[in-house]
Amino acid sequence: MHAYGDLHVYFGDLHSHCGISYGHGTLDEALANAREQLDFCSVTGHAHWPDMPPPDPRIQHILDFHHEGFAKLKAGWPAVLETLRRANEEGRFVVFPSFEIHFCATGDRTVLYRDLGGDILYADDLADLHRRLRALAAQGKAAIAFPHHLGYRRGARGVNWEAFDPAFAPVVEIVSMHGCSEGSENPRPFLHSMGPSDWESTMQFGLAQGHVFGVVGGTDHHSAHPGSYGHGRAALWATSLTREALWEALMARRTCALTGDRIAVQFALNGAPMGAVVPLTRHRHIEIEVEAGGAIDCLDLVKNNRLLRRWSECDLPQAAQGSHLHLALGGEVRNEDVTPVRTKLFLEVGWGEKRKETAWDVSLGISEGRILAVEPRFRGQEVVSPIEKEAGSSSRYYASHWEREGERAVRFTTRSIGHPNNVANTAQGMCLEVEMPLGGTVEAVLNGQRATVPLRRLVAGAKSGNLGGIDSPAWRLHRAPLPWEFCWNVSLDDADDAPAFYYARVRQKSDQWAWASPIFVR
């Protein structure tokens, strides 16, 4: 697509936590986890809460660990910056410093510095924070303060759109471990003890008020695991993996919010990319290209918060669907056995007894063909505040690592914890994008046990197994989608004389999501 001709997509997490304030794990563990699966990251310290509730026996334990965390970050901030400088590697892994300020009245903010320096700002309120950021900008020190977990009720640390200023928040974080803040009906509800979401604190409400902003996801993870799979991530379309290029993409709002999978969305209107503000024009030619992390369920185009168009596989050429079924069920035509096809092989490991930890040593590869890309899908421990950590749970927070094993395989070690209930997924995963013939096989060695599955079988459906009997750790190779299932290219012409905003939304069949930043016609 022309609008993205010289751009590349990079994946990261700009909002995550560890033990530098209140949280778990070391900064070194957090950065090691991030390097396993992200292009860029920020490890955020909890710094300040100027309108903290007054002392109250009912919540005093919460207030106390906040005070302790704030003091810990203040004392350790110089060492934090030095560790970030050592970890940064331009062109491979870019790190940004950040800290968080809680505001009951106007909503929490992640303060992100462009460069590897900067002081903690102890602002009295959001207006004071903006004044301090403006003064830094005058000195050539670039920083932003973007809101996160928007959806909480106004006055209860949800966003107050009346106080929003795009000069300091080019993007807002719409999905994280807290939930999804797109609108009133969301794929990820707010379930934290802080309360449910409210319509007037959502992304759609802010857009309806005329605000201009882009969207990102972030984990808000508290156990030293930036990018923890399924909690929220950000994608940036930038010219290179450098600090300056990523910052330019962030300020231009060429950003996507993701739940977990690397879903690359190119969204353009009249040749302008996501995040753009384009002149008022009646004719709007819209293009959307998606390369997803798995089979796409639907692709939505939203205009002024209303669904303008939804594409599903029913809109794709019937010949492609027929080919999919034919190949899966083993039709008579067999030349596909030797013709390479592109697909994605997603292996999950975990299960077993509830809350019981399993160490994994896994080799995943293919009998022939080549690996095009490796996408780790590792999760961190599901614990937030210091009072939630269970006795006896692991204090090792860097537990997953992968490396290439020859040209056609990867090896990874990880630790999974048996799912605590029937809805919370704590499995670990690895996805390989490969090009191989349908006659080839997918080969895995899992803790010494070998599994060999024909690719043709995985095109038909998933394959699973256990390491032992009932309640033993298990594995699952997901169905292998064919290219037409995860690569979509659609367009639409819209005619309107009025100002409008548009954004694209993608849902995979696996319930992984992506949202592209809006384009504004005004």
Q: Tell me the C-alpha distance between 377 and 395, whole Å.
A: 21
Among 428, 446, 445, CA closest to 377: 428
State whether 161 and 293 are in the same domain. no
Domain edge (last residue) among 480, 495, 514: 480
State whether 502 and 426 are in the same domain. no
State whether 128 and 271 are in the same domain. no
State whether 238 and 309 are in the same domain. no
DSSP reduced 3-state for 335: helix
Q: Tell me the C-alpha distance between 514 and 401, whole Å.
A: 26
Longest dimension (CA), the chain: 75
Taking only the tens place, the pLDDT of each residue in 347-365 is 999 999 998 999 999 999 9
In a domain, 311, yes or no: yes
Handedness of CA 178, 183, 189, 191 (dihedral sign): positive
311 vs 326, more confident: 311
CB 172 within 8 A of CB 215: yes
pTM for the model stands at 0.96
In the DSSP assignment, the letter for residue 50 is T
Residue with tokens 């070391």: 26
For residue 170, count other CB atoms closer than 10 A to its CB. Answer: 21
In a domain, 99, yes or no: yes
State whether 87 and 33 are in the same domain. yes
Give me the CATH number covering residue 297.
Answer: 2.60.40.1930
| pLDDT above 80 for 57 | yes
State whether 164 and 72 are in the same domain. yes
In a domain, 434, yes or no: yes
| pLDDT above 70 for 164 | yes
In a domain, 451, yes or no: yes
State whether 297 and 383 are in the same domain. no
State whether 379 and 499 are in the same domain. no
**For the stretch 188-224, what's the b/e string if a residue is b when 16 or more beta carbons lie within 10 angstroms of its beta carbon?**
bebeeeeeebbebbbbbbbbeeebbbbbbbbbbbbbb
Mean pLDDT, range 184-197, rounded to an integer? 93
Q: What is the pLDDT of residue 320?
A: 54
Q: Tell me the C-alpha distance between 231 and 259, whole Å.
A: 6
Taking only the tens place, the pLDDT of each residue in 92-142 is 999 999 999 999 999 999 999 999 999 999 999 999 999 999 999 999 999
Q: What is the pLDDT of residue 332?
A: 45
State whether 393 and 460 are in the same domain. yes
Number of domains observed in the structure of the chain: 3
State whether 303 and 434 are in the same domain. no
Residues 500-503: contacts with CB within 8 Å, 24+ apart?
500/284, 500/303, 500/304, 501/207, 501/303, 501/304, 502/269, 502/284, 502/286, 502/301, 502/302, 502/303, 502/308, 503/215, 503/267, 503/274, 503/301, 503/302
State whether 442 and 379 are in the same domain. yes
Q: Tokens representing 521?
A: 């016609």
CB 310 within 8 A of CB 299: yes
Among 152, 150, 148, CA closest to 194: 152
Main-chain phi, psi angles of 386, to 5 degrees: -60, -30
Residue 451 belongs to what domain range? Answer: 334-480
Q: What is the pLDDT of residue 382?
A: 80
State whether 271 and 250 are in the same domain. no
CB 269 within 8 A of CB 284: yes
DSSP of 188-221, one letter per residue?
A: S---STT--B-GGGSHHHHHHTT---EEEE----
In a domain, 324, yes or no: no
In a domain, 405, yes or no: yes
Percent over 70 (pLDDT), the chain: 94
HSE at residue 400, side-chain half, CA atoms within 13 A, is: 30
In a domain, 69, yes or no: yes
Taking only the tens place, the pLDDT of each residue in 255-283 is 999 999 999 999 999 999 999 999 999 99
